[in-house]
Amino acid sequence: MKKIVALSDSHKNLKAITSIAEIMDESDLVIHLGDHYDDMDLFSTMLQDKLVRVHGNCDYGINKEVVKEVEGRRFLITHGDLYSVKEGLEKLKNRAKDLGCDTVLYGHTHKSAIIESEGILFINPGNMTAYGGQKSYAYIVVNGKKITAVINENGIKKII
C-alpha cells in the first residue's frame, strides 16, 4: 500500500504547502504537478527521493511529464497544459492510452476533479492558491490495483 499526496499550481504559496508538511512527510510519494515547480525546493531535503514533480506553463523547464509505476498502477504525471485540459480531457486520455497508463494526475485548471473514463482514472488536485476556488490537494491510497482518491479542500475531505 502506498500513500500519495498530489498538489498543483502552488504559485509561491509556501504557507499552504507548509500547512500539509506533516501529511507529505508521512506519505510514500509527494507529487507536484507544476506551476511553481521550485516551490517544492524548500521541502526537497525532507522528502528526498519520494518527491516527484513536473514543470507547468508558468515554469522554466522541460520536465513536462513523468510515467511512474505505483503498486501495479501506471501513472501519467503532467501539468496538463500540453494537452489543453481546460478544453477537455480527450487529448490527455489519448496520451495516457499511448503510454499504457491507467491513472493520470494533472493540474492547470485550478479545479479539483476525480473522473473515470474508458478505464482511466483522472485526478486533478485543484490548486494551493485558491485561484478560481478553494485551496486543495489530493490524498491518494494505492493498494495493488485498487485506488482511493480524496480531495481535501481547506481541511474538508470530499470524494468527488
Cβ 152 vs Cβ 14: under 8 Å: no
CA-to-CA separations, 67 to 13, 14, 61, 77, 155, in angstroms, rounded: 26, 26, 17, 6, 29
Collapsing DSSP to helix, strand or coil, 126 comes out as coil
| DSSP per-residue codes, 39-103 | GGGGGHHHHGGGEEE---TTS--S--EEEEEETTEEEEEE-SGGGTGGG-SHHHHHHHHHHT-SE
What pLDDT score was predicted for residue 154? Answer: 66
* Residues of the domain holding 32: 2-158
Rounded mean pLDDT of 137-154?
A: 92
Nearest to 24 by CA among 11, 37, 35, 40: 40
pLDDT band at 133 (very low <50, low <70, confident <90, very high): low
Q: Distance between CA 151 and CA 50 in Å, rounded?
A: 20
Arithmetic mean of pLDDT over the chain: 93
Using the predicted structure, report yes or no on whether residue 131 has a pLDDT greater than 80: no
CATH number at residue 73: 3.60.21.10
pLDDT digits (tens, 9 = 90+) for 72-117: 999 999 999 999 999 999 999 999 999 999 999 999 999 999 999 9
What pLDDT score was predicted for residue 127? Answer: 94
Cβ 54 vs Cβ 37: under 8 Å: yes
Domains of the chain: total: 1
Q: Distance between CA 91 and CA 67 in Å, rounded?
A: 16
